[in-house]
Amino acid sequence: MTRATESDLELARIYAVLAEAGNIPKWAPVFADAVERIDDVNHRVTKNGATFGIQVLLHPPAGTVDYIREMPNGNRGGAYLRITPRPLGGCVIAMTVPIGPNTNESEVAKVVERELADLVQLARG
């Protein structure tokens, strides 16, 4: 499922917040209570006392940030964020997340929309 929002902030400001994995709990508390950096790519996420690993894959020239984790059955998935500049300033932020078989899509959509709004507020400082 994908949701997007627009911001008057420049792409670089949004990207800087996303690229720092330690910011995830500030704008996506449903996903993480805390994030600990292991190395440039690998991080440990704590949520409700449980921990799991994620990889943060950055591609600044393309404006992409991907948070990838091991899923059940050895699959990998996560949140894929794309930031594109608007022609007259500002940017568009799109986030795609997986929808599980027992997940209510409209509830996930509300959470993602809230996370995008909180991300913009965090970048605004």
C-beta neighbour count of 38 within 10 angstroms? 12
Residue 73 has pLDDT above 80, yes or no: no
For residues 50-70, give the mean pLDDT.
95
CA distance 48 to 15: 27
- The pLDDT score that the predictor gives to residue 70 is 80
The closest alpha carbon to 79, from 56, 102, 105, belongs to: 56
Domains of the chain (ranges, CATH numbers): 2-21+57-124 (3.30.530.20)
- Residue 102 pLDDT greater than 90, yes or no: no
Q: What is the mean pLDDT of residues 13-32?
A: 97
pLDDT at 101 over 90: no
- Predicted TM-score of the model (pTM): 0.93
Mean pLDDT of 55-71: 95
Confidence of residue 124 (pLDDT cuts 50, 70, 90): very high
Which pLDDT score is estimated for 35? 98
Other C-beta atoms lying within 10 Å of the C-beta of residue 22: 12
